[in-house]
Amino acid sequence: MSLNAERSYKMKLRDVENAFKYRRIPYPKRSVELIALLAISCTFFLFMHTNKLNSRLKEMEVKLQPSEFSALGLTGNHISGHDAGKHDDINTLHGTYQYLKSTGQLGRVTALHLNNTRFAGTEIVIFNRPTRVESEQMVPLFRQLAAMNDINVVLNGPVRTMNRTRTEEEQIIESAWANELERGSIYMAHSNWLDFASFGFKKPIYISLVKDPIERMITDFYRRRSWEKRAIHRRMYPGRQERPDEWYQQSFNECVRSRSPECLFVQYAVADYIQDFKRQSLYFCGNEADCLPFNSHHATQLAKQRVEKEYSVVGTWEERNITLTVLEKYVPRFFNHARFLYKLHSKSIRNRNRNNRKPHVDADVREMVRRNFTNEYEFYYFCKQRLYKQYLALQLENNLH
C-alpha cells in the first residue's frame, strides 16, 4: 500500500471513529438526565403522597383524643368505678383505638369484616331489646324513620309473656310469624335471641342495645317504685293490697346495705326473689337452660358468640352518636338519616324519660354490687368494644382512602 493510500485509509478510519464518538455522546447524556428527572419526580410525588397519608392519620388520632370526645358526641367518661378518667382504658373509644394500633390489629379493622347484615336471608330487622336500656327512645325515632325510609314498625308480636325464656313452641310461633312480616319491617320486642335457621326460617337482621349493668339495676329499682307503675298496678289489680309506703320510699343504698332479698344478686342463681331481668346477657345468649344462671361465665361466652356472629349492631344509648352512626352505615336500608332525624326530634324523644327517678348511689354500694356482676360486665364491655371497632372502621375508611 502506497504512503498516500495508507494516509487516506487512516484519515477515513479516524473520521469513522469520530463520527461514532460524536453520535454516542449526546444520547447517553440525555438518557441520564431523563432518568434523573424521573427519579426526582417519583421521589417528590411519593413524599407528597406519604405526607398526605400521614396528615390524615394525624387528623384521625386528633379526632380520637379525649379532649375531642365532645366533638364526636361522646361523654368523655366511658368507664365506671376506680377506672373512671383513664382514657387509655380499652373500654373507651380512644383506648380501643390505641390497643388496636399498638397490637397491629388496626389494619384488619374493616367495615366489611364487621358487617353481619350481608349474611341476612331476609330484609327484616329484629330489635330484641333488653329491659332498662333506654330502648323506649328508639320508638319515636323508628316512627320518623318509617316515614323517611318507607319501613314498617311492628311493636306487638304473637307471644306475650313476662317469662325470662320462650318455650320451644313459643320460639317456633314467634320465628314463623316474624319470618312472614313484609320486607322492610322492624320488629321490636323484649325477647331473647331466636335461632331462626334451626327452625328452617330465613335469618333476619338482628340489632340491640346494652347498658352498664349496675345502671340497669338502679334504673329498674326505681322504675318499679315509680308512681306510673303504682297506677298501673292499681288499674290491673283493683282492690288488691299494695306494698307499704316504706317499700316505695326505700333507696337503692338502703336496699343493698340492708341485704334485702331484692338487692341480693346471687351468683349462678336461676330462681330469683323477683323477676328483675338482671341478666342482660340472657337476651343475647338465647332460650337455652345454660343461659339462665346469673353471672355465669358459660352463659356470657355464649352471648358473646351470638353477638359476634348473629348481630349486625349492638349499640348503647350511652354512646348515642356512635350507635346511630354505626346503624346508619351497617344497616342503611332501615337507618338512613337516623342521626339527622334524632337531632331534629331529640327534644320530644328525650322527654319520654323526663320523669324517671334516679337518685344518687354511693360509691361503696356500687362497688358491692359490681363484685357480683363480673361476667355481666365482661359481656357489656365486649359489646362496647365491638361497637367502637365498627365505628373506627368507618373513620379509617373515610380518612385514609
Q: Please give the positions annotated as active site.
A: 190
Burial of 104 from C-beta contacts in 10 A (0-12 / 13-18 / 19+): exposed
At CB < 8 A and 24+ separation, what contacts does 222-225 make? 222/252, 222/356, 222/357, 222/358, 222/359, 223/132, 223/356, 225/249, 225/250, 225/357
Other CB atoms within 10 A of residue 51 CB:
10
Q: Which residues contact 151 (CB under 8 A, 6 or more apart)?
A: 145, 184, 185, 186, 333, 334
Phi and psi at residue 247, in whole multiples of 5°? -65, -45
> Which of these, 141, 94, 118, lies nearest to 395 by C-alpha position?
94
Report the alpha-carbon angle 29-32-37, nearest 5. Answer: 125
Q: What is the DSSP track for 31-55?
A: HHHHHHHHHHHHHHHHHHHHHHHHH
The DSSP letter of residue 67 is G
**CA–CA separation, 151 and 149 (whole Å):** 6
CA 72 to mean position of chain CA atoms: 15
Strands (E), 233-378: 311-316
Grid cell listed for 176: 314463623
Residue with cell 388520632: 61
Beta bridge partners of 210: 316
Q: At what angle do helices 93-102 and 374-400 cross, to 10 degrees?
A: 70
The helix (run of H) or strand (run of E) holding residue 360 is none
